[in-house]
A and B are shown apart, each in its own frame.
Chain A
Amino acid sequence: MIEDIELEALINDVYEYYGFDFGSYSRASLKRRVSRVYVLDGFKHFHEFLSKVRTDPEYYKRMIDEITVNVTEMFRDPSFYQVLRKEILPLLGTKPFIRIWHAGCSTGEEVYSMAILLKEAGLLHKSILYATDINAAVLETAKSGIFPLRMIKDYADNYRDSGGEEDFSNYYIANYGFAKFNEDLAEKMVFSQHNLVSDTSFNEFDLILCRNVLIYFDNNLQKRVVNLFDDSLAVLGFLALGTKETIKYSISQSKYKQFEKEKIWRKIK
């Protein structure tokens, strides 16, 4: 592992040269990720790594891609999607218009999963799905709606476990090892770059999903981001986090009511 002071030097340089602030990321994870690229790319001295990052914007991009974690799936945690399908969407369905924000959407599998749920509930036509991430490259994949075919079997299983009853293969066309999801699913999606560390609220939403993103932030940044969501959520709107994330350490519990045992909270005032 690299040393603590080396990590701090990198954080400072990245901020100074590129304006990106990793200062409030979880140190345990960040240190592991940085040590991993450092070794992977065969550096022997930390100052060489630092100067490469400073002077070579291409390498900086590679490093960022390697240290951020973009792992995602369609219908990740099927029981979560089951609750969305059975309990949350019927509540949102009574509204004339449904605004959803996927914060930290990565390559978009979560957004396409949501579009499928909305379509099956007959709500997609009156919904809009904003999907944002800090990483421009993952957003390009998300826009394309093209995912590796080898994952599709797992996704179809997840889909079924989440209560899906259609033939999953109706939702995509398979071609040369890839599955391209139907264009009508993407019609209501808007992708854009948004940095949860420094950007502000940009709309009011009925449902915000931010799953497996806050785990990479320290307590202070988690607080700031949960408050950003609070500012962006309509009263009676829902905030959904990853299965092991909580708002408990971030915001007054009197404002939010947890939806059964799920990692879904409803804003009650």
Chain B
Amino acid sequence: MEKNKIIDCKVVIIGGSAGSLQALLQILPFIEPPTSFAMVIVVHRKNSDEQTLEDLIALKAKIKLREVEDKTPLEKGYIYIAPSNYHLLFEKNETLSLDTSEKVNYSRPSIDVSFESAAEIYGSALIGILLSGSNTDGTAGLKAIQKASGMIIVQNPLSADMPFMPKNAMLNTNPDLVLTPQEILEFLKEINKA
């Protein structure tokens, strides 16, 4: 595995849909606050779910959660969650922008939109991880990350509640790694030391 990709990592972006919360809860509570990267989470959620996901993650994770508002600066050592009903985008000056334009893959936030935008800004300093889910969102985003020399990881479909999304990604991209949530955790601990 290319070591330099890991050492330079500034952003770890994780996408998921149905079944991804279980995976996140196997990972996030056990990582120490990262010293060199920020974590961004983009999951499909109900419009009515305004805060519950944020509250849950804030409660479970050791890493501090930063509320995402428009133009919130993206800083290492924090977790950011795409708010419901907005697409989350990345700006050159390392702030986050929100966008209410039409849904993509029936989703807002859409994983593809955020992955593509992050790839534009962070290139090889980005690691994209796609978790469980039952639609095709995320695949095009992973492609964009790979094209921009970032690293892509897909949850092992055998370990996913809803294997369709990771399977679709494996069929259409060439992931650097295919890992179970436990292995994703080990991987993130490792790069956190790097």
Contacts and interface: CB of A to CB of B under 8 A. Distances in A.
A205 to B, nearest CB: 23
Contacts of A71: 100-102
Nearest to B68: A244
A32 B113 contact: yes
A33 B98 CA distance: 13
Given A28-B91, A71-B102, A212-B100, 6 more contacts: A28-B120, A32-B89, A219-B95, A245-B69, A246-B69, A246-B71
Interface residues of B, number: 23
B137 interface: no
A27 B95 CA distance: 11
A246 B70 CA distance: 7
A33 B86 CA distance: 15
A214 B95 CA distance: 14
B46 interface: no
B69 A26 contact: no
B120 A29 contact: no
8 closest residue pairs by CB, A with B: A28-B89, A69-B101, A215-B70, A26-B97, A29-B99, A246-B69, A215-B98, A28-B97
Contacts of B123: none
B54 to A, nearest CB: 12
Contacts of B113: 32
B65 to A, nearest CB: 15
10 contacts: A1-B116, A26-B97, A29-B99, A29-B101, A32-B113, A215-B100, A216-B99, A218-B91, A242-B70, A242-B100
Contacts of A245: 69-70
Interface of B: 68-71, 83, 86, 89-93, 95, 97-102, 113, 116-117, 120-121
Interface in A242-266: 242-246, 248-249
A211 to B, nearest CB: 10
Interface of A: 1, 26-29, 31-33, 69, 71, 212, 214-216, 218-219, 222, 242-246, 248-249
Contacts of A219: 71, 93, 95
Nearest to B91: A28
Contacts of B97: 26, 28-29, 215
Given A1-B116, A28-B117, A244 B98 contact: yes
B91 A26 contact: yes
B122 to A, nearest CB: 12
Nearest to B113: A32
A12 B71 CA distance: 24
Contacts of B100: 69, 71, 212, 215, 242
A220 to B, nearest CB: 10
Given A27-B92, A71-B100, A32 B71 contact: no
Contacts of B68: 244
Contact of B71 (A31, A33, A242, A249): A249
Contacts of A212: 100
